[in-house]
Amino acid sequence: MIEAVFGLVGVVVGSAITITKDAWSSWRDRRRRAAYAAIRVVCILEEYADKCVGVVQDDGTAYGRPAGRTDQGEEFLEPQVAQPAAPEYPDDLDWRSLDASLMQRALSFPNVARSTDRFIAIEADFSAPPSYDGLFEARRVGYGRLGLEALEISAALRKLYKIDAIGRNAFSSDWDPDGYLRDTLAKFEKEKAEARSSSEALL
């Protein structure tokens, strides 16, 4: 009887070890696939964020002068940095291995980018030379927010899947694109609020 009990215990323990080993192996494999997928998404989003910074920095001038000039010699502001296309992800990316909330943010992000481009196109139609204020405001604010969102998703993926930021600021350790975009948007909002207050004071 005792031998039968020991035999049964041995079977149970052996089964438990096998199940635990399989579960651990499955979890480790999923984690590895998730980290690989996250790295690919991070690279795409950070490249896009860098392009967003370029758009935000574009004030329509070249060498300190308005970049555009009519045949009559009249100067006007003209975008010098092309708006980047919405980010595209590889078809073979294993989305199901990623955290659900971050997957949703990353997958919906291209739609947000396309919506921003449509808004900018509308503003361009209603902006007038020589300053094209509406166009440049829409570009700088729109791409400032897009750049921040891309960097926030990237940072969350890096943190969750323990991805080092090696090479992120390869040329300057002082360069902080996240901080630059936040400061630029905050400055713009402050100037806009001050302009609104001045207009109201004149009424």
Give the other-Cβ count within 10 Å of 79's Cβ: 18
Residues 6+ apart with CB under 8 A from 3: none
Indicate whether 193 pLDDT > 80.
yes
User: Taking 50 as the threshold, does the pLDDT of residue 24 lie above it?
Assistant: no
User: Model confidence over 54-78: pLDDT tens digits?
Assistant: 999 999 999 999 999 998 889 999 9
Q: Residues 75, 130: contact at Cβ < 8 Å?
A: yes
pLDDT tens digits for range 120-150: 999 999 999 899 989 999 999 999 999 999 9
Q: Cα angle vertex 67, ends 74, 49, to 5°?
A: 150
Residue 117's closest CA among 83, 82, 88, 151? 83
Q: Which residues 6+ apart lie within 8 Å of 197 measured at CB?
A: none
Q: 190: which 2 tokens?
A: 């402050």
Provide the sign of the torsion angle of the four alpha carbons 84, 151, 157, 32, taken in this order: positive
Whole-number average pLDDT of the chain: 86
Cα gap 1→188, rounded to integer Å = 83
